Amino acid sequence: MPTLFDPPASGPAATPRPRRQVLSVSELNAIARAALESTFPGVWVEGEISNFKRAPSGHLYFTLKDSAAQVGAVLFRSQAAGLRFRPEDGLKVQAFGRVSLYEARGSYQIVLDRLEPAGLGALQLAFEQLKARLQSEELFDPERKRPLPVLPRRIGIVASPGGAALRDILRVLERRFASLDVVIAPSRVQGEEAAAEIAESIRRLNRLGGIDLLVLARGGGSIEDLWAFNEEIVARAIVASEIPVVSAVGHEVDVTIADLVADLRAPTPSAAAEMIVRSRAEFLEAIVTLRRRLDGAAALAVARRRHALEAAGAAHALEIVRGRWREAALRLDERAGRLRALADRRTVAARHALRILAERMTPRRLAERVAARRQRLEAIRRMTGTAIATRLAGARSGAARLAGRLEALSPLAVLARGYAICRAVATGAILKEAGAVMPGEAVRIRLHRGGLLCTIMEVEDGGRTQDG
């Protein structure tokens, strides 16, 4: 920059002086900003967040402080969108960015590119923050959890279609109860968009209807791999689900937010399939056990009655009583046999009805029945429309005929041909002969258009003339 000199002082001995350089405030702040940004292009700073504020634009503004000093900091929306945890007052963090100066106010600040919690990983901190918030809403309480159905007829599974977790669940279900209906909602279970897809799959299965149980399935992995199941959007979708939810995410040592809010947590996907569906053999064994208990109860009742009858026969020592006892014992044996046969028939009928119900409740059968009902409704609608149109056409034709007849019989039509109607003003009676009035009386004459009020000057009645 060239050196400017003030004008020389008067006199030959005067020497020139450098002219002072005067900067505007904007120029000074611009120079200071350039100096700061060139000196500190990138620096890590550790401090505690205070005065935290999230602007409507999405930018984060706060102060980093320690025990002796503080500095302003800003994290713009594009960088803030990638945070896994929620910044808040009192949180100790490590921040990386460039030192700059906000020229409009002349305040220096750090423009951040990264923000991490000090001493605790960002994902772990985000997990603890969300866990504490949901726990304060009592979403983990056992009283909120819903019981699972004993034998679900239809199960919805949210999983990756190519994942091992889904294959494990299907293999176990095939082995334990092959005829069970399964609906799969394919979803990514890892990555940026996975949480939104999982939440939407849960909502989609709820809207579908007819599902008794819902399973979230994914194999094991690191906290980053399983992070989609720690997102709040997934937790809220599980809580809002009208269908009981089983979380089968990761291995037994992995615990996610989805595990905590779900109605049941399974240690592995395979274990989830074992827990939610009892095997067909177990049901058959339970039926056999109940039948044995029924037979035993019937046999015990018969034995007790027989013992009572034997005791009565021994006490009275009467042959007739013994005969009656034998007859009663035979009747009891017969009724016990009938009871066992009835139990057998009802068991067979129940199994047959269960098979028929399982065949009828397939999605294809339901779709066919709905389509047939729709065709019937459409045919009825067409027939009804045709009948209404026919009735309306007939009604219009009849109305036209009646209008024509009414027009032909109308007195006004007669008047239109030149005739008139006369009434005596005094009596209001219609005049049918001239002798009904006298000269000087007033009459009113109705024409086709309008009327006349007249005074009788002369009456002609059969050749006789009466003057007024």
Cα–Cα separations (whole angstroms), residue 10 to 5, 7, 20: 15, 9, 19
Q: Supply the DSSP string of 199-232, one letter for each residue.
A: HHHHHHHHHH----EEEEEE----TTTTGGGGSH
The C-alpha atoms of residue 379 and residue 191 are separated, in whole angstroms, by 51
Domain boundaries defined on the chain: 25-119, 140-278, 281-360, 416-467
> Which residue's entry shows tokens 């005049």?
431
**Rg (Cα) of the chain, in Å, rounded?**
50
The C-alpha atoms of residue 164 and residue 387 are separated, in whole angstroms, by 61
pLDDT value of residue 2: 40
pLDDT value of residue 4: 40
> Which residue's entry shows tokens 């320690």?
66
Q: CA nearest 216: which of 191, 193, 244?
A: 244
Residue type at 467 in one-letter notation: D
pLDDT value of residue 5: 41
436, 423 Cβ separation under 8 angstroms: no
pTM: 0.43
pLDDT value of residue 280: 56
Contacts of 243 (CB under 8 A, 6+ apart): 156, 205, 206, 211, 212, 213, 214
Spell 364-390 as b/e; 16+ CB within 10 A means b.
eeeeeeeeeeeeeeeeeeeeeeeeeee
pLDDT value of residue 237: 92
Phi, psi dihedrals of residue 456, rounded to the nearest 5°: -70, 120
86, 126 Cβ separation under 8 angstroms: yes
The C-alpha atoms of residue 414 and residue 407 are separated, in whole angstroms, by 10
pLDDT value of residue 1: 38
Residue type at 356 in one-letter notation: I
Contacts of 269 (CB under 8 A, 6+ apart): 159, 165, 166, 168, 169, 215, 217, 218, 219, 248
| Number of alpha helices (DSSP H) and beta strands (DSSP E) in the chain | 12, 17
Q: Which CATH number fits domain 25-119: 1.10.1740.10, 3.30.70.100, 2.40.50.140, 3.30.930.10?
A: 2.40.50.140
Q: Decide if 25-119 and 140-278 have a common fold.
A: no
Could you list the pLDDT tens digit for every one of the 468 residues in the chain?
344 445 555 555 556 666 778 777 777 777 777 777 677 778 888 888 888 888 888 888 888 888 888 888 888 888 887 777 778 777 777 888 888 777 777 677 888 888 877 665 566 777 777 787 888 888 878 888 888 887 788 889 998 888 888 888 888 888 877 677 889 889 888 888 888 999 999 999 999 988 889 999 888 777 778 888 888 888 899 999 998 999 888 777 778 888 888 888 888 888 888 888 765 556 566 677 777 788 788 888 888 888 877 776 666 656 676 677 777 778 887 888 888 888 888 888 878 777 776 666 667 776 787 888 888 888 898 898 888 888 888 888 888 888 777 776 777 677 777 788 898 888 888 888 888 888 888 999 888 788 888 988 888 876 566 665
- Number of Cβ atoms within 10 Å of the Cβ of 400: 9
Task: Please tell me the CATH superfamily of domain 140-278, with its number.
Answer: Succinyl-CoA synthetase domains (3.40.50.261)
pLDDT value of residue 9: 53
